[in-house]
A = this chain, B = another copy of it.
Amino acid sequence: MENHNPPSCECTIIHEDAIKRVRAAMPSNESFYGLANLYKMFADNTRIKILWALSREEMCVCDLAALLGMTKSAISHQLKLLRLSNLVKNDKLGKNVYYSLADDHVRDVFEKGFEHIGHT
């Protein structure tokens, strides 16, 4: 009855104080959305392999396709997403397009991930 947030929960609120504290410190919806989107880029087998490879060497689309045993098209589609997320940049050189990591921050995110994997 007194639900102001439409698709709300169907229960009597138990720890209102805790909820208030958390809500007060909560980042904006946009922050979460952006963060989730960042992680989405790491959340696919192909993309994570591409990112890892590029963290090692600058590579062109064909190189990545050969490395991962996939078509240029599939790789190109994923590279586009990575580009739109500002995780990789490209450098046109003749017929080839060389891709590399946009910045070293990407490498950091990786390391944290691999650490966690190692721990479990």
Contacts and interface: CB of A to CB of B under 8 A. Distances in A.
A69 B8 contact: yes
Given A27-B52, A69-B6, A62 B117 contact: no
Interface residues on A, range: 35 or more
Given A9-B65, A15-B59, A19-B59, 17 more contacts: A7-B71, A9-B71, A12-B62, A13-B63, A18-B59, A18-B63, A19-B66, A19-B67, A22-B56, A22-B59, A26-B49, A26-B53, A35-B42, A38-B113, A39-B43, A40-B43, A112-B112
Main secondary structure on chain A at its contact with chain B? helix
Interface of A: 5-15, 18-19, 21-23, 25-27, 31-40, 42-45, 48-49, 52-53, 56-57, 59-60, 62-63, 65-67, 69-72, 86, 96, 103, 105-106, 108-109, 112-117, 119-120
Each complex incorporates copies of this chain amounting to 2
22 contacts: A6-B69, A8-B66, A9-B62, A9-B65, A9-B66, A9-B70, A9-B72, A11-B72, A14-B60, A14-B62, A18-B59, A19-B63, A19-B67, A22-B59, A26-B53, A32-B45, A36-B43, A36-B44, A43-B43, A86-B120, A105-B116, A106-B116
